[in-house]
Amino acid sequence: MWLNKYAKIQQLEVDASTFPIERFTFLPLEMVPGRKNDNHFYTNVIGRLHSISNVVVKQVEERGETKEVNMREIYIADERGETMKITIWGELATTIEDGMLDSNQNVAVVIIITGTFVKERMGFISISTTQASRIFVNLDNEQVQEFRMRLGKETEEIEEIHLEQEKDPFEDKITLYEASQMLLDYENKNKEFFCEASIVRFNEGKGWYYIACKKCKKQVQNNDGKISCPKCIKTFDGKVLPWYWITVRIKDNTVYADLTIFGFNVEKMLKYTAAEHVDYAERCEKLEEPDKATQVFDKLIGEKFGFKLKITEENIQKQSDDYTVLKVHTIVKKKKTASDQLGPKTPQKEKQQKIMLLENEKHQKRNKLRRMVDSEDDKDEKEDESDENTMVKKKKITNEQKRKRLRHMLLEDDEDTQENNEMAVDLDEEEDGDNEDDKNI
């Protein structure tokens, strides 16, 4: 409910105890698939806890950084026995206690989960929690009591699901040369592997996107103006979107390889969608600068990524290093400290460190002086505020004082700068002497 500036609020004298503390609008489980991949609406569901997994740690990428997040899977069932998978992320994963697996439970465990999104992956529908989600277990309210009435008195044992802890893909990485050797053995068909490599070239020949079915992301067909999807033949609703499709050449410290990368993986690398990129390309066309649209990919050159790849039957038959990309992992760069940037400790490096310390001290001194000037200005303005003439005189005096202090501060800065420059000159002279020694050697 939204309230605008024209809304009126009137207080009513009623018995607040008659209002329920929690009240929900649930979507029946059989209607959940109708909201797949629609993030315009949160979905609330209620059900009996059918099965529950252990909590595992997953590595997820958010805003270019890889984070470790708790994850748990549960299945809930309605009164008809229809089940639905729910993936619970973050701190919510520990909301449902493991003690609920106790087979001596005399009543069903009723779960309410709010603020979720409905997802479709590989043709399967499931529910996933969001930052807005809340979980209620055996809530004591009228809606839960009504649901228990529909369930009946019979209870079923809660099944246990075991999930394996996810391994860090960077631990088991192999080189591209080792991957090329795997192509010699037909048993490696469909084998997945992980490597770390840098992009050295973007191949423009094949274009960089296609028009895809919004549901399945397959390339749509255009026959005399009639658009169709080869996969969603009967259920195709005519909704399409641009979808990334690029080919790049990568290299690690061994050999080269070619990759074809689609959709979300490219968006992760570029930090924006294909639809946004197409809009930018159209603007470039109007400005008669079409090359700018593809120059966007130049920023990927030299960047290092982690790639989860798959060896297909075609790779083995043709001995081709054009691998199928399953997932792209961004590599978080560690910020270097001042000592890391300066490298091994040498007399020259020590002088550089001293200059950096002097710069920091000068910056702190400048801020301190400014704070002192500002505080005295505030004191002057607070006195004799009622006397206008006195106020004008005081402002003149305080402004003169401020200018004097600023001149004094600038003189100190000049002296410090001169001292730093002298040290820098000495350092340059020493480095020049070292270079002459190197030449002689």
Q: Is the pLDDT of residue 254 over 90?
A: yes
Asked if pLDDT for residue 271 goes beyond 50, the answer is: yes
Task: Check residue 4 and give its pLDDT.
Answer: 79
Query: Band of the pLDDT at 23, cuts 50, 70, 90?
Result: confident
The DSSP call for residue 270 is H
Give the pLDDT score at 60.
77
Higher pLDDT, 171 or 366: 171
Q: At what angle do helices 274-286 and 263-270 cross, to 10 degrees?
A: 70
* Domain map (residue ranges) of the chain: 29-161, 176-330
Lowest mean pLDDT across 158-167, 197-206, 393-402: 393-402
Residue 401 has pLDDT above 70, yes or no: no
Whether 29-161 shares its CATH topology with 176-330 is answered: yes
Classify burial at 43, counting beta carbons within 10 Å of its beta carbon; exposed 0-12, middle 13-18, buried 19 or more. buried
- Torsion of the alpha carbons at 416, 417, 422 and 428, rounded to the nearest 10: 130
Q: Which residues pair with 66 in a beta bridge?
A: 61
Share of the chain above pLDDT 90, in %: 43
Amino acid 369: pLDDT = 61
Tell the residue number behind the tokens 């649930």, with chain if given. 26
What per-residue confidence (pLDDT) applies to 433? 45
Looking at residue 340, what is its pLDDT?
41
Q: What is the pLDDT of residue 428?
A: 46
pLDDT interval class at 337 (50, 70, 90)? very low
Question: 97-148 pLDDT, tens per residue?
Answer: 766 555 446 788 999 999 999 998 766 899 999 999 999 999 989 999 999 9
Name residue, tokens 């000592």: 339
Q: What is the mean pLDDT of residues 264-282?
A: 91
What's the pLDDT at 77?
93
Say which residue, 45 or 57, is predicted with more confidence.
Answer: 45
User: Which of 7-11, 174-178, 273-277, 378-382 has the weakest average pLDDT?
Assistant: 378-382
Question: In sequence order, which residues have a C-beta less than 8 Å from that of residue 394 and are 6 or more positions away?
Answer: 380, 381, 383, 384
Residue-level pLDDT at 392: 47
Q: Which CATH superfamily is domain 176-330 in?
A: Nucleic acid-binding proteins (2.40.50.140)
- What DSSP state is assigned to residue 210? E
Highest mean pLDDT among 38-42, 150-154, 197-201, 219-223: 197-201
Average pLDDT, integer, range 276-289:
93
Q: pLDDT for 76-102, tens place per residue? A: 999 998 999 999 999 999 887 766 555
pLDDT of residue 441: 39
Q: Minimal CA–CA distance to 246: which of 257, 258, 255?
A: 258
**Quick one: average pLDDT of 221-241?**
87
Residue 165 confidence class, pLDDT cut points 50, 70, 90: confident
Task: Quote the percentage of the chain above a pLDDT of 70.
Answer: 70
Higher pLDDT, 311 or 410: 311
Instruction: Give the global pTM.
Output: 0.51
Residue 434 has what pLDDT? 44
Mean per-residue pLDDT, 369-383: 56
The whole-angstrom separation of Cα 208 and Cα 317 is: 27
CATH architecture, domain 29-161: Beta Barrel (2.40)
* Residue pLDDT, tens place only, 407-427: 565 555 555 555 555 444 444
- Output the pLDDT for position 331: 73
Cα dist from 126 to 217, 309, 362, whole Å: 19, 26, 59
